[in-house]
Amino acid sequence: MDEAPRRSPYLPMILAWLVPGGGHLVIRRTWPGLVFALAIIPLFGAGLVLGGFENVSQERHPWLFVLQILAGAPAGIAALLTKTTVLTDPLPHRSVGDLFTCAAGLLNLVAIADVWARCTAGDPETRVAAPEPDGIESLVRTDSDDGRSAPPPTPAASPEARDV
């Protein structure tokens, strides 16, 4: 059976990092791209709002920024636009905002890995699993004419069991 030629994963992976869902759109997988975009971008935006628009910064939060920058261009844009933001009031949900923006970055990392897997191993929707020789099918296979397996025989009840 002829396999479709595999495409290079590098450009789709870079686009998947820059624009959440963009790598999937480049490899013509619209639905996974939309699902990732509609999951990552609002999650990142909600994290910005809950963090008071000051939580995406390499200077203020260097360790969090490592995870947040995985969200790609939204993190870079947010870092540039909020560079001069000064937090004047303590925010009760700031740590939740940090969590949301970091989770968006990690979810985008999953999207990047999915693009890489689809480019190198093919789409999971189109791959056909090869039957395993002497696998579980051989345990339930019967010699019936129609090819379906017969139910297991029931043991005959002994006379002692009927009296109880």
Domain extent listing, the chain:
10-123
Helix intervals (H) in 3-157: 10-18, 22-26, 30-50, 62-68, 73-81, 94-121, 136-140
Q: Which residues of 81-112 are buried (b: 16+ CB within 10 A; e: fewer)?
A: ebeebeeeeeeeebeebbbbbbbbbebbeebb
State pTM to two decimals. 0.71
Question: Is the pLDDT at 6 greater than 80, yes or no?
Answer: no
Q: What are phi and psi of 106, to 5 degrees?
A: -70, -35
Give the pLDDT of residue 84. Answer: 85
CB 65 within 8 A of CB 56: yes
Lowest mean pLDDT of 22-31, 58-67, 105-114, 131-140, name the range. Answer: 131-140
Distance of CA 19 to the CA centre of its chain: 15
86-143 confidence digits (pLDDT tens): 777 777 878 899 999 999 999 999 999 999 999 998 887 776 666 666 555 555 555 5
